[in-house]
A and B are shown apart, each in its own frame.
Chain A
């Protein structure tokens, strides 16, 4: 960072910063601390969470809301689903995005192809949920299947599947929507990184007789690895926060619950549990936060 070169009043910087800092303090910093405080209180935020303890049953005292967040069966379902989303969707979007970025670069219709993959980013997650619910829909009672997937299944001689209410198929169906939405994001960022690679390196690999496959794995992937890491961390955050898709498609029913939806469902009825789940969410994100700050500091040193 360059030093300032102009004279300035002592308070000038703060005049520029103050409006933004005030709003961020009020809407991000204060609520974050407040949420942690509220998570130790009961459902109406009036007394300690310990009052919810029932005699003869397990009790974590003031951490009672965290007992719910970590041991309740529906929360266990949510936690395991978020883990599944992480395990499948993050690699799914990143590798699909990388594949498409690499392949699209070699054809003349690159722009159109990329726009098609990227287009879902323009629409709301709610809209995407509607689009896919229509794909997955089932007609019961013998009528013609109006959902494309069930029409194909029936056309091939199978029985129609209730995609949204059959566990665990519904979980995978929701993740497909996530992949459909986010692959464009990963592709765009990875494509920009690939375009920035020095062409001499790739040419040198070819001159040395490397096959396309070898060039990809041994040269390209290591070179864009920093970007792959960035995309992976961003996707991790997005997946931990996943909410709209689940809310609109299954409402978290039939075994598809996720953390953010549980938090939302409890906002009105139980602020204690709701804030405990929110606190759990940010605890899960702290490693990414630290990682990002470290990365930023390294970059600043190189400037």
Chain B
């Protein structure tokens, strides 16, 4: 191919690529920011932006060490075998700057400990320098300069619903029970009422039965709408199309009054039924469009072979509509998993993930680190489902908006 034409094509495609890439970056940066933050410790989250982990940070104490110590101990601290600064056993003897200062004042083999150039004589000036050198020596002794430290403690804190100012694992290690607020550092903390652990369990308990129920009931109804003849079929289905749009806000007050009258407030049965009710119109619509588009001949030949409706529903319609069931299942699963409003009203004593996140929000904004962990815990399952079955999800969405 003509190289000039290739070049020309690249330049023509440039604006498109640029626009696409800018848009993709804009779309991904907010999530990326929260994701990165979820691995940073509380202090880092509070004081610096998440993007700083991508920019090289000045290494604390490197200049000071190079100035005062490197001429004898070497850049890596191991030039003097009898005083190897890369050996943790030596460095860990000096935890504080004044300890190091006291040591430096002692003679070594009868000779003064040489610093080149000499440290300032005033301790007020020399101590800050030694503090930085100490930090650098600790870094040298722990295997050279490390990258920014990342932690999983935010996820642990979110799982157990830790509300203190330190971190759950640290408080457990130091036995700081006052800050643990009822957590007892055993496996039972994973299901503590304020944590994301129990919330994830609640979300699963809500979502799975709803999805299965919606699919089952919708399949039955869809078969009737597609292959059975009954009076009022057309207008009943038209009503169904209208029902898809009824906002669930219409049902909140009447159903909560009904539930408190029959003692069903905050029960799983209550929220299952509510979600199923509002999931059905779209589900039936989607399934009917699919089952109705199956070739008529297969049902006819089944009939000639002596099959009744029950048989052709279970052995023909259901197996053949697996793709539609998959789409509907994924769609319904994500919808219920991500719901907040219904769970907030009908399941107050068993918070699901979305509700628990809002319980964790501290109005002063001092626990961003835990919120980020909590948010990503709530994303794990929908993200996996979404990326594994994206095809089906898209199909479930399209079925309602394009064909319908």
Which residues of chain A have a CB within 8 Å of any CB of chain B? Answer: 1-6, 8, 12-14, 16-17, 19-21, 23-24, 26-32, 34-35, 38, 45, 96, 99-100, 103-104, 106-107, 113, 115-127, 130-132, 134-135, 137, 143-148, 151, 180, 185, 188-189, 192-193, 227, 230-231, 234, 237, 240-241, 243-244, 247-248, 260, 263-264, 267, 271, 274-275, 277-279, 281-282, 285, 288-290, 292-293, 296-297, 299-300
Q: A130-B375, A237-B245, A248-B361 are in contact. List 16 more A-B contacts (CB 8 A).
A: A1-B292, A6-B227, A8-B309, A14-B230, A17-B224, A21-B221, A28-B251, A31-B250, A116-B24, A122-B383, A127-B338, A131-B31, A144-B49, A274-B252, A277-B249, A297-B238
10 contacts across the A-B interface (CB closer than 8 A)? A23-B276, A27-B273, A27-B274, A35-B254, A117-B27, A122-B379, A122-B385, A180-B30, A237-B247, A288-B245
B133 at the interface (CB under 8 A from A): no
Q: Which partner residue on chain A sits nearest B395 by CB separation?
A: A192
Residue from the list B228, B256, B378 in contact with A12, Cβ < 8 A: B228
Report the stretch among B14-22, B116-124, B149-157, B321-329 that lies at the interface: B14-22
Give B49 Cβ to nearest chain A Cβ, in Å.
5
Residue from the list A24, A38, A131, A189 in contact with B34, Cβ < 8 A: A131
Give B342 Cβ to nearest chain A Cβ, in Å.
11
Which residues of chain B have a CB within 8 Å of any CB of chain A? Answer: 13, 16-17, 19-20, 23-24, 27-31, 33-34, 37, 45-51, 217-218, 220-221, 223-225, 227-230, 233-234, 238, 241-247, 249-257, 273-274, 276-278, 280-281, 284, 292, 296, 299-300, 303, 308-309, 312-313, 334, 337-341, 345, 353-354, 357-358, 361, 365, 368, 371-372, 375, 378-379, 382-383, 385-387, 390, 393-394, 397-398, 401-402, 404
A135 B378 Cβ-Cβ under 8 A: no
A32 B338 Cβ-Cβ under 8 A: no
- Pick from B253, B309, B375 the residue with the most CB of A within 10 Å: B253
A13 B224 Cβ-Cβ under 8 A: yes
Residues of B within 8 A of A267 (CB): 252-253, 256, 345
Residues of A within 8 A of B387 (CB): 115, 122
Q: Which partner residue on chain A sits nearest B228 by CB separation?
A: A13
Kindly state the separation between the CA atoms of A143 and B25 in the bound complex, as whole angstroms. 27
A146 B48 Cβ-Cβ under 8 A: yes
Kindly state the separation between the CA atoms of A240 and B29 in the bound complex, as whole angstroms. 28
Residue from the list A115, A292, A296 in contact with B390, Cβ < 8 A: A115
Kindly state the separation between the CA atoms of A115 and B27 in the bound complex, as whole angstroms. 11
Residues of A within 8 A of B353 (CB): 124
B402 A227 Cβ-Cβ under 8 A: yes
Kindly state the separation between the CA atoms of A151 and B49 in the bound complex, as whole angstroms. 8
A12 B309 Cβ-Cβ under 8 A: yes
B386 A119 Cβ-Cβ under 8 A: yes
Kindly state the separation between the CA atoms of A264 and B225 in the bound complex, as whole angstroms. 36
Give B206 Cβ to nearest chain A Cβ, in Å.
13
A271 B253 Cβ-Cβ under 8 A: yes
Ranked nearest first, the 10 interchain pairs of A and B with the lowest CB-CB distance are: A27-B277, A122-B386, A31-B251, A124-B338, A16-B224, A4-B229, A34-B254, A31-B254, A13-B230, A20-B221
A124 B337 Cβ-Cβ under 8 A: yes
Q: Given A27-B278, A30-B254, A143-B47, do A244 and B33 touch, yes or no (CB 8 Å)?
A: no
Residues of B within 8 A of A12 (CB): 228, 309
Give B104 Cβ to nearest chain A Cβ, in Å.
34
Residues of B within 8 A of A34 (CB): 253-254
Residue from the list B37, B375, B378, B398 in contact with A189, Cβ < 8 A: B398
- Pick from A6, A27, A113, A240 the residue with the most CB of B within 10 Å: A27
Q: Given A34-B254, A113-B20, A134-B368, do A146 and B45 touch, yes or no (CB 8 Å)?
A: yes
Residues of B within 8 A of A8 (CB): 228-229, 309
Q: Which partner residue on chain B sits nearest A10 by CB separation?
A: B230
Q: Given A180-B27, A231-B401, A264-B341, do A124 and B378 touch, yes or no (CB 8 Å)?
A: yes
Residues of B within 8 A of A38 (CB): 253-254
